[in-house]
Amino acid sequence: MTLNFADQSFELHPSGALFWPNEELLIISDVHLGKITHFRKHGMPIPNDAVLENFEKLDGVIDYFNPAELIFLGDLFHSSFNKEFDQFKLWVENQSIPVRLIKGNHEVLEDSTYESFGIEVESHITFDTFRLQHHPEEDDSSIPVICGHIHPAYLLKGKARDQIKLKCFHATETQLTLPAFGVFTGSHLITPEPNDQIVLLAGDGLIAI
């Protein structure tokens, strides 16, 4: 599905990834690698296959778009070192494209740790018509922003009082918020304004409302 934002055309993917065809740039937010292992370590019975699912999702979306570059929009790794970090390090070493990381609030590791295996670390990245950053803009910005952090979701309601909460892309005139890419991440219900664009993640498809 295509979404127009900041005078640019972007492609949305059911995984929660965003692709900018003009620059062949793939943007992914809030993977939270290490979170599953962290909770398993503290006794939560989460299937170990969930760890592999994050990497399978990453491989799948890269294979689909064949990007020239990958940018993680913050909160790539959930906490300090655990075995998922070693898996990620190996995953990065097997990539043939540049990888950049915009720091989020969960980036507790030193920049040099990421840089040691080829990831460039930034606080934000500015293009001609928009800026990439982790946190939403709290004040009016002079340039539109693409961000993450919020883990936006929307409550879809049916006529029989049934309802389901789905992750979503949320676009206003000046801000596009990406859903969390990670398979074990919470979500935050949003209340859109009338002119906002909402695109729901629904399994292998997308629903624009």
Angle between helices 49-65 and 83-93 (to 10 degrees): 20
Residue-wise pLDDT tens digits, 161-182: 789 999 999 999 999 999 999 9
What is the chain's percent helix, strand, coil content, to nearest 5?
Answer: 20, 30, 45
pTM of the predicted model, to two decimals? 0.90
Residue-wise pLDDT tens digits, 60-115: 999 999 999 999 998 888 566 567 788 888 999 999 999 999 998 867 778 888 89
Which pLDDT does position 5 carry in this prediction? 97
Local structure of 71: helix, strand or coil: strand
| Averaged confidence pLDDT in the chain | 88
User: What distance, in Å, lies between the first and last C-alpha atoms of the chain?
Assistant: 13
Decide if pLDDT at 53 tops 70: yes
**Interatomic CA distance for residues 128 and 18, integer angstroms:** 18
CATH number among 3.60.21, 1.20.120, 3.40.50, 3.40.630, domain 2-208: 3.60.21
Residue-wise pLDDT tens digits, 25-38: 999 999 988 655 54
Which pLDDT does position 38 carry in this prediction? 46
